[in-house]
Chains A and B, each alone.
Chain A
């Protein structure tokens, strides 16, 4: 029992931090620009493929720096020449613009790198088990993921709360005219924010690529889970996203560990006929089988009972 609790907690924290790594860029864009960026997972995929391509030639570490910069620049171009035009038509148009972008990025990645998974490796310097608990090894690379996520969290927090740039960014969202009158270029601030968000997605891609599978469907297979993180955490709250990532990571991990079902609790169903068969479906579903839908259940419940999210300051 202790073994399961300990290992599940550890796995949950590691997975939660991976989620935060992936979601941090989305949080930044969502909270500062109010844009639901559907192309976030596509930027994440671009990051992974750029990282792979760079790692083939000059190694993993240069990729970790160069790929996010490149993707960040692409993000800024997208904002400058696409999103800005759409901005005046409202948030739905912005959201649909990023939706259309996913098709284009997906096809371009397929054309350049093909439809098969590429062999993106963990750098040799991190390719060893860091420690062993109850005969389960934990690779050093996972610890690296964890530390990067925490470092990004702290850095973002510092920038937003403690620097002038952060203040200007926050003010640009709520009072764009005022900020503009004070001599700040609001357009450039938004461009920068979108670039940083895309670049953070790419950081996640470079790091998660070797750990997961780098393939042209990786954006699609990620699904809407990152939206759950951002919304559950609360709009505009980086800390909320951090807590929500941990919560979802732990929730899913502990759910997988449990094989309990209604049949365990109340005994097997008896009876035949279609109705019993329908009921039997529900009766025999285990908690582990439900692990993937739990974040969405959490999302719906949070939005009903606490629409501002865990740590959000305003309602959506």
Chain B
């Protein structure tokens, strides 16, 4: 009972402090709803740093429609329900552009919430800019007029990746290993269908599902891959599940090539270097910093001088914000009702390579040149390494925009 006042005092001061929190008026407010604490914090923090960098840059040029751009972070702890409260909070504070990306479960919740909110609150519409969630249902069965996807979805990435693998004659036996949840299954299903098709010249020798974020020891999985005689492994794993898998492979001396979706995510290049898998791990993204395109490389250098965390990992955030700013300028309004039609069908010179991509009107999926890159020692004109490893991402193949286009089942409900 001694000093019980102490804890009451903490509680009271916390309550008091919340009242002091205020938001600057008359800016173009962009709410960033992503994890800033907990398991997903690393990815969320990098996105926030880049978003702030983008805002500083446009503000230096006078802002958007003469207004300064303000990035307001909302920590969603990677939880769908907390995310919805944070979106509600953002809306209360005058935010009408919600940027969110990490976690398809969160994206699905936010997309659905925004759609319902807009139909129930005409005049207060908000738009959901999705920069990273790539579950195909977001732009297919559950597509929404108020949602825009700037990362290529699973179908696009699997299409590009499997075409690349089929064209490589050295690949004969592929082992699929994915985390046991929707994203892992959608990758595995699509890949098994594409690679296992007649005449692909490829045999799928295993299709494994790993319990999501529960495995400490991956050596049993490595033993299985070893026993299958695979020469290549395709994996949708990310985060710890990919880092530990790769390190276990390095330990066991498994000599296969790795085709991944998220090997660029924070921490994984370090693990690849530790495992000594030089030029053996590939990823598919919308581009890497070592593409020989000077305007982008200049900006990356400028960014690195301010943020030591990593080179720019989310080029698509630059595309997304650039396109939103362009649409707002064209519509001469910050009202999503006015600028969303400008975003539909917009063509845009990508940040990473200057090549043109487009936002498909049917499903609000952005299509852009895709790159398959491998991690290894750098050559000429490849100045950027990852996480101080001395290794960087180097382009192994380029997939032009028109080879990335996949059909959609989206039947979009448009407001009248």
Contacts and interface: CB of A to CB of B under 8 A. Distances in A.
Interface stretch (A28-36, A67-75, A285-293, A301-309): A285-293
A63 B244 CA distance: 23
A7 interface: yes
Interface string B201-232: 00000001101011111011111101100000
Interface stretch (B152-160, B267-275, B283-291, B358-366): B267-275
B223 A257 contact: yes
A191 B223 CA distance: 44
Counting chain A CB atoms within 10 Å of each CB, which of B38, B243, B252, B273 scores highest?
B252
Given A135-B226, A291-B211, A18 B217 contact: yes
Among B215, B221, B254, B270, which residue has the most Cβ atoms of chain A within 10 A? Answer: B270
A116 B41 CA distance: 9
Interface residues of A, number: 51
A129, A212, A293, most chain B CB atoms within 10 A: A212
Interface in A183-223: 210-213, 215-217, 220-223
Given A221-B240, A256-B221, A256-B224, A15 B216 contact: yes
Contacts of B221: 256
Given A217-B39, A220-B38, A221-B39, A117 B213 contact: no
Contacts of A18: 216-217
Interface string A114-135: 1111110110000001001011
Given A7-B223, A11-B217, A252-B217, A129 B42 contact: no
B243 to A, nearest CB: 5
Contacts of B271: 117, 213
Interface string A8-23: 1001101100100000
A246 B358 CA distance: 56
A305 to B, nearest CB: 25
Interface in A274-299: 286, 288-289, 291-293
A252 B309 CA distance: 36
Given A115-B45, A137-B251, A292-B215, A213 B180 contact: no
B223 A4 contact: yes
A110 interface: yes
Given A11-B220, A257-B220, A257-B223, A217 B211 contact: no
Contacts of A216: 41
Contacts of B131: none
15 contacts: A8-B220, A115-B41, A117-B267, A122-B274, A135-B253, A138-B251, A142-B251, A211-B247, A225-B216, A253-B217, A253-B220, A256-B221, A256-B224, A291-B215, A292-B211
Interface of B: 38-39, 41-42, 45, 180, 208-209, 211, 213-217, 219-224, 226-227, 240, 243-244, 247, 251-254, 266-267, 270-271, 273-274, 309-310, 387-389
Interface of A: 3-4, 7-8, 11-12, 14-15, 18, 110, 114-119, 121-122, 129, 132, 134-139, 141-142, 210-213, 215-217, 220-223, 225, 249, 252-253, 256-257, 286, 288-289, 291-293
